[in-house]
Amino acid sequence: MPPITLRYQQVGPTDAMLTRAGGVAASRNAVYGGAVADINLNTDTGGAIATIDQYMESCGFRQNSAATPPALIGEVNAFSRQQFTTPFALTYGANIATNAQLSNNFTVTLTGASAVLDNPTNVVAGMAFTFFVTQDGTGGRALTFGSNFSFGAVGTPLISTSLLNVTDVISCYALSPTKILCSVMRGFA
């Protein structure tokens, strides 16, 4: 069967079964965002795939429609529904490490006398992220911050320590990988 030209958007990690006319493998970027890619259906599917749509979905792609255009990397996009990331639970310790590329929202419960929220790794200018820092049932836990965190003229804040089981929200914006502008909202029960 000769290649058939279809318009698909990648939603999965694999595109190994996609080929362009002439047998050259299509790259992930060649089909991302609904760009045209040629599909070669000469691949043996063992009879398990009856339609082109099933074939594409088995490769991690879904059909794009004009009614629901894809979000494009490097372009301005408008969304009609909420976009979100799952909060990432940080591991409590004397030093609390954060990989900024794992989420935009991070949670940690303070369970020891004091800890340092270390400078996040993998920070890129323009990133925005939020820390949700919760006192445990004992309370009185102290938190200090790595040198890349900047709280402006008010200086480094004290987090809520006198209340039990309360959460402070630390909102951050990375001006650069080593300059993270922050503000704190305290005492959410």
Tokens of 17: 């079964």
Q: Which residue has the higher pLDDT, 163 or 88?
A: 88
Give the burial string for 129-146 (b: 16+ CB within 10 Å, else e). bbbbbbbeeeeebebebe
pLDDT at 48: 53
What is the domain partition of the chain in residue ranges? 4-63, 88-188
- Confidence bin at 78 (pLDDT 50/70/90): confident
- pTM of the full structure: 0.63
CA distance 75 to 110: 40
Widest distance between CA atoms in the chain: 72
- Interval 117-135 mean pLDDT: 96
CA distance 142 to 10: 45
What class is the 88-188 domain? mainly beta
pLDDT at 112: 92
Q: Which residue has the higher pLDDT, 112 or 22?
A: 112
21 Cβ contact list (under 8 Å, min separation 6): 3, 38, 40
- Interval 28-47 mean pLDDT: 43
pLDDT at 118: 97
